[in-house]
Amino acid sequence: MTKRTVETLCREVDNMVNNLLHLSRHRFVLWLAAQKKLLTKDRMADMGIGYDKAACVLCDQDGPEDHTHLFVDCEWSKAVWSGIEQWLGVQVPQVEANMVLQFIQNKHWCRMKKEVIAVVHGARIYFIWQARNWKIFKGITVNTSSIVQQIQFIVRGRIEMFIDTKQARKCIGYLEALCN
Ligand SMILES: [Zn+2]
């Protein structure tokens, strides 16, 4: 994927989040993850600062802890993903953050459904990255089901704010199912 395409996709997600759901922290981390710019152990080792290419703290698998491992291959992250997929009722491929955005963009879903799923994707990336940081810097272990619950809570709250809009009415059955 070219840089321009990533920027276009992220700008679209940016607009989605800005216009409707206001998860600016999530948007920022998603933006970095889509460009593989988060400071993973792998990147820091390549930059000559800090870490060796050591184990992922979420699943304790031997390294390298990089974007592909954290958001695609990590067994801990996969558990978050599968919990979300069951709730969303749609299959989203387990691929790099930018490719997920592309997948959503190419789907023939109504706009609100695309926005909701893009926001869920951003929240997933954000909470996985936060769990990784909490484990490393605070020694706090987060369990995957609590992340799924947090994402559901946040996204349901935002859906309820926009449930009466014209866009929402186009896929009202889907949105109501997410809120129940
Ligand atoms: Zn892992």
Residue 11 has pLDDT above 60, yes or no: yes
Q: Across 2-11, 53-62, 125-134, which has the greatest mean pLDDT?
A: 125-134
> 59: CA distance to ligand 1 center in Å?
4
Predicted confidence (pLDDT) at residue 134 exceeds the cutoff of 90: yes
CB 173 within 8 A of CB 89: no
Distance of CA 34 from the midpoint of ligand 1 (Å): 18
CA of 78 to the centre of ligand 1 (A): 9
pLDDT digits (tens, 9 = 90+) for 85-114: 989 999 889 899 888 888 888 889 988 898
What is the structure's pLDDT at 13?
55
DSSP string, 34-90: HTT-S--HHHHHHTTSS--S---TTT---S---HHIIIII-HHHHHHHHHHHHHHTS
Compute the residue count for the chain.
180
Centre of ligand 1 to C-alpha 149, Å, is: 20
Give CA 88 to chain center in angstroms. 13
Predicted local confidence at residue 115, as pLDDT? 86
| Ligand 1 centroid distance, CA of 173 (Å) | 36
CA of 125 relative to ligand 1 center, distance in Å? 13
Tens digits of per-residue pLDDT, 20-64? 555 678 888 888 898 899 988 888 888 887 666 578 999 978 768
